[in-house]
A and B are shown apart, each in its own frame.
Chain A
Amino acid sequence: MPDRGFLRLPTRNRELALIALALLIATAGFAAVQLARAQEFASSPLIAAAFFAGAYLIAHLVVRITLPDADPYLLPITAVLTALGLIEIYRIDAKLARDQGLWIVLGLVLFVGVIVAFRDIRRLETLRYTCGAVAVVLLLATIVLGSEVNGARLWIRVAGLQIQPGEFAKILLVIFLAGYLRERREVLAAPARKVLGIGVPALRHSLPLLIIAGASLVLLVAMNDLGSSLLFYVIALAMLYIATGRLLFVGLGAGLFALGATAALQITPRVQTRIDGWLHPWADEQAQCCYQITQSIYTIADGGVLGAGFGRGVILNSGGGTIIPYAQTDFIYSVIANEMGLVGATAVILLYLLLAWRGFRIATTADDGFSKLLAAGLATAVAFQVFVIVGGVIRLLPLTGLTLPFVSYGGSSVTANFAIAGLLLCISQRANRERV
Chain B
Amino acid sequence: MVDQALLLLRIGVLVLLYLFVWRIARTAIRDVRGSSESMILSPGHGFDPQPASIAPSKPATPGRLVVVESDILPIGAAVVLDQPEVLLGRDPHAAAVLDGDGFVSGRHAMVRLRGGSPTVSDLGSTNGTYVNGGRIAAETPLFEGDEVAVGSTRMIYEPGTTQ
Q: Which residues of A contact B (CB under 8 A)?
A: 3, 6-7, 18, 21-22, 24-25, 28-29, 31-32, 35-36, 39-40, 73, 76-77, 80, 120, 122-123, 125-126, 128, 179, 182-183, 185-186, 189, 241-246, 306-307, 309-312, 340, 343-344, 347, 350-351, 354, 357, 360-361, 363-370, 372-373, 375-376, 436
Asked if A122 and B141 make an inter-chain contact with CB atoms under 8 angstroms apart, the answer reads no
Are A7's CB and B41's CB within 8 A? Answer: no
Q: How far is the CB of B24 from chain A (nearest CB, A)?
A: 5
Can you list 10 A-B pairs, Cβ within 8 angstroms, ordered by A? A36-B2, A123-B133, A306-B10, A309-B6, A310-B9, A340-B10, A351-B17, A354-B25, A364-B37, A436-B156
Q: Is the CB of A179 within 8 A of B34?
A: no
| Cβ–Cβ contact B21 & A350, under 8 A | yes
Q: Does B92 contact A (CB under 8 A)?
A: no
**Does B82 sit at the interface, judged by CB under 8 A?**
no
Contact of B18 among A32, A73, A307, A347 (CB under 8 A): A347
**A80 & B17 in contact (Cβ 8 Å cutoff):** yes
| Cα–Cα, bound, A244→B47 (Å) | 11
Task: Specify the chain B residue showing the minimal Cβ separation from A1.
Answer: B23
B42 x A189 contact (CB < 8 A): yes
Given contacts A364-B34, A364-B37, A372-B47, 10 further A-B contacts (CB under 8 A): A122-B134, A126-B134, A186-B141, A243-B42, A244-B42, A245-B45, A309-B10, A310-B6, A357-B28, A367-B145
List of A residues within 8 angstroms of B12 by Cβ: 28
Residues of A within 8 A of B5 (CB): 35
Q: Is B39 interfacial (CB 8 A cutoff)?
A: yes
Please give me the 5 A-B residue pairs with the lowest Cβ-Cβ distance, nearest first.
A245-B42, A367-B145, A363-B39, A32-B9, A122-B133
Chain B residues with CB under 8 A of A306: 10, 14
Instruction: Decide: A242 and B20 in contact? CB cutoff 8 A.
Output: no
Could you tell me if B9 and A344 are in contact, using CB atoms closer than 8 angstroms? no
Complex Cα spacing A133 to B47, Å: 30
Contact of B132 among A77, A361, A363, A370 (CB under 8 A): A370
Query: What is the total of A-B residue contacts with beta carbons within 8 Å?
Result: 145
Interface residue B43 (Cβ < 8 Å from any Cβ of A): yes
Given contacts A309-B6, A370-B132, contact A245 B44 (CB under 8 A): yes
Note all chain B residues with C-beta closer than 8 A to A370: 132
Q: A245-B41, A347-B21 are in contact. Are A340 and B13 (CB under 8 A)?
A: yes
B72 contacts A by Cβ under 8 Å: no
B21 CB contact (under 8 Å) in A340, A351, A364, A365: A351
Of the candidates A6, A179, A364, the one whose C-beta lies within 8 Å of that of B38 is: A364
Shortest beta-carbon distance from B47 to chain A in Å: 8
Question: What's the Cα separation between A120 and B5 when bound, in Å?
Answer: 48
> CB-CB < 8 A to A363: which residues of B?
39
Majority SS of interface residues in chain B?
mixed
Residues of chain B within 8 A (CB-CB) of A35 are 2, 5-6, 9
A344 and B16 alpha carbons, distance in the complex (Å): 11
The digit string for B144-156, where 1 denotes a CB below 8 A from any CB of A, is 1111000000001
Chain A residues lying within 8 Å of B25, measured Cβ to Cβ, are 350, 354
Bound CA–CA A241/B40 (angstroms): 8
Contact indicator A36/B132 (Cβ below 8 Å): no
* Interface pair B10/A32, CB less than 8 Å apart: yes
Q: Are A77 and B24 in contact (CB under 8 A)?
A: yes
A307 to B143, CA, bound (A): 52
Closest to A122 in B: B133
The answer to whether B41 touches A21, judged by C-beta atoms less than 8 angstroms apart, is no
Chain B residue nearest in CB terms to A36? B6
B17–A25 contact, CB under 8 A? yes
Of B7, B34, B41, B146, most buried by chain A (CB within 10 Å of CB) is B41
**Is B27 on the interface with A (CB-CB < 8 A)?**
yes
Contact A242 B21 (CB under 8 A): no
Question: A21 touching B134 by the CB < 8 A rule?
Answer: no
* A6 contacts across to B, CB distance below 8 A: 23
Tell me whether B77 is interfacial, beta carbon within 8 Å.
Answer: no
Which residues of A have CB within 8 Å of B144? 367
B157 to chain A, nearest CB (A): 10
- On whether A369 and B23 interact (CB within 8 A), knowing A32-B10, A364-B38, the answer reads no
Q: Are B13 and A28 in contact (CB under 8 A)?
A: yes
Residues of A within 8 A of B47 (CB): 372
Task: Determine how close the nearest CB of chain B comes to the CB of A130; give it in whole angstroms.
Answer: 12
Taking CB atoms, residues of chain B closer than 8 Å to A376 are 39
- CB within 8 Å for A28 and B16 given contacts A122-B133, A436-B68: yes
